[in-house]
Amino acid sequence: MIKPVKHRNVADQVYEQLRDMIYRGEIEAGGRLLSERDLSQLFKVGRPTIRTAVQRLISQGLVESRRGVGVFVLDREQGLDKKPLLQALNCEVYSIADIQEIRMALEAKSAELAAKRATDEDIRLLKAVLERMKKERVEHEISINTDISFHMNIAYASKNVVQIHLMKSFYEVQNYAMSYSYTNLLESLHIDQLIDAQHEEIFEAIVNHDPIRARQAMEDHIGTVLEICIQHGV
C-alpha cells in the first residue's frame, strides 16, 4: 500500500516503500515496476525523485532496468554481488541445518513481537500471503519466494527495524542455499499439509495477539525444518 511521503529525504522514502513492497512479496520476482510517470503520480513526487529511488533499488540488486521494456524485480539468487553477507559465506562451508539454528532464534522473537504489535494492515497482508500459498499448493506451483514473503511480513509486523534488516540479510543467505537442495527435499517428503498447518497456527496466534503462542508455534515450525535437515544431512 502506497503511503504519502513525509518531509524528510523524499527519494529515501520512495525507495524504502518500494523496497518493502518487494520484500513483502507485493511486487513479485519477475514483476515489472510501474512506469516512472505512474510512480510519480502515485507518490505525488517528481520524476527525478522516482529515478533516484529506482536507481538505489538497482544498486542494491533488487531490480534491473531493461532498455525499452521497464524495470523488473530480480529473483533473490540474482544480483549476489550486491550482498556482502552472501559474499562472505560464499567462501565458507555451512549446512542448511546451520541456517535453521539461527533462524530459530530470529524468527521466534519475530513472531512474539508481531503478536504484540501487528496492525490490522499487517494481518491483512499476512492473510493474503497465506491465501497465495494455498492457491500455489493446489496448482503445484508453491514458491520459496511466497514462503519468504510470509516470514518477512511477520518481521515487518514486529515493528523492530533491526529485526527487519537482520531477517532480510538472513533470507538472502537462506534462499541462496535452499534453492538447490532443500526445496526438492521438502517436496519429496510430502509434508505440505504439516507446513501449512504450522503457518496457520503462527498466523492465528498473531491475529489473537498471543505472543507466547506465536513464539511456540514458530519454534515448532522451525524445529520441524531443523529436524528434517539433520536427519537428511543437508
Which residue blocks in 80-191 are alpha helix, DSSP H? 84-89, 96-117, 120-138, 144-157, 161-178, 182-189
- Which of the listed residues 50, 73, 96 is the one where a domain comes to its end? 73
The number of distinct structural domains making up the chain is: 2
SS3 192: helix
Residue 55 and residue 128 in one domain: no
Residue 99 and residue 206 in one domain: yes
Q: Which residues of 16-45 are buried (b: 16+ CB within 10 A; e: fewer)?
A: ebbbbbbbbbbbebeeebeebeebbeebeb
Instruction: Give me the domain span that covers residue 151.
Output: 81-232
Q: What is the pLDDT of residue 216?
A: 98
Residue 117 and residue 38 in one domain: no
Q: What is the pLDDT of residue 142?
A: 63
Q: What is the pLDDT of residue 74?
A: 84
Residue 31 and residue 114 in one domain: no
What's the chain's length in residues? Answer: 234
Residue 183 and residue 87 in one domain: yes
Does residue 2 belong to any structural domain of this protein?
no
Report the CATH number that the domain containing residue 57 is assigned in CATH: 1.10.10.10
199 closest CA partner among 136, 150, 148 = 150
Q: What is the pLDDT of residue 80?
A: 44
On whether the pTM is more than 0.75, the answer is: no
Residue 204 and residue 98 in one domain: yes
Long-range (24+ apart) CB contacts under 8 A made by 91-97 are: 94/177, 95/229, 95/233, 95/234, 96/174, 96/177, 96/178, 96/181, 96/182, 96/229, 96/234, 97/226, 97/229, 97/230, 97/234
SS3 94: coil
Per-residue confidence of the chain (234 residues) as pLDDT tens digits? 666 555 568 888 898 889 888 877 788 878 899 999 999 999 999 999 999 999 988 877 788 899 889 999 987 555 444 555 555 555 455 667 777 888 899 999 999 999 999 999 999 999 999 999 888 877 766 667 788 889 999 999 999 988 888 888 777 766 655 554 556 666 677 788 898 999 999 999 999 999 999 999 999 999 998 888 788 766
Contacts of 26 (CB under 8 A, 6+ apart): 125
- Which of the listed residues 73, 91, 111 is the one where a domain comes to its end? 73
Residue 63 and residue 85 in one domain: no
Distance, CA of 188 to CA of 93 (rounded, Å): 25
- Which of the listed residues 48, 73, 98 is the one where a domain comes to its end? 73
- Is there a contact between 176 and 92 (Cβ–Cβ < 8 Å)? no
Residue 133 and residue 43 in one domain: no
Residue 133 and residue 165 in one domain: yes
Does residue 147 belong to any structural domain of this protein?
yes
Report the CATH number that the domain containing residue 141 is assigned in CATH: 1.20.120.530
Burial of 140 per CB tally in 10 Å (0-12, 13-18, 19+): exposed
Residue 104 and residue 31 in one domain: no
